[in-house]
Amino acid sequence: MNDASLPPASPSALAPPSAADLDAALREALAPTRLEVIDESAAHAGHSGANGLGRGTHFRVRIASPRFEGRTRVAKHRLVYDALRFFIDQGVHAIAVETL
């Protein structure tokens, strides 16, 4: 049996994402001119959505991108969330977005 025939791992079986993982996805999708991704999970230990590891569940994103030109704040945030959908589906609980 080869790896291609195995079902994909469930999100709970995957390691929690890192700030670098989210950074890479945002760079690929939005070509930002400024980007800072901060894992704030440790500050949310014991809160809803925390995974007990102190990482990979709560992030802050500060981002500027030419793709934001002429868009409303809601539309800018939607672009960010769309770029991070894979991680949200994996269990990232909170993403605080600051568009610059």
For the chain, give every domain's residue range: 16-99
The tens-digit pLDDT sequence of the chain (100 residues) is 444 443 344 444 578 999 999 999 999 999 999 999 999 988 877 666 666 665 788 999 999 999 999 999 999 999 999 999 999 998 899 999 999 9
Report the pLDDT value the prediction gives residue 54, as an integer from 0 to 100: 52
Which token pair is 16?
């929690």
CATH 1.10.3720.10 fits 16-99, yes or no: no
Question: Whole-prediction pTM value?
Answer: 0.80
Asked if 64 and 29 count as a contact pair (C-beta separation under 8 A), the reply is no
SS3 41: helix
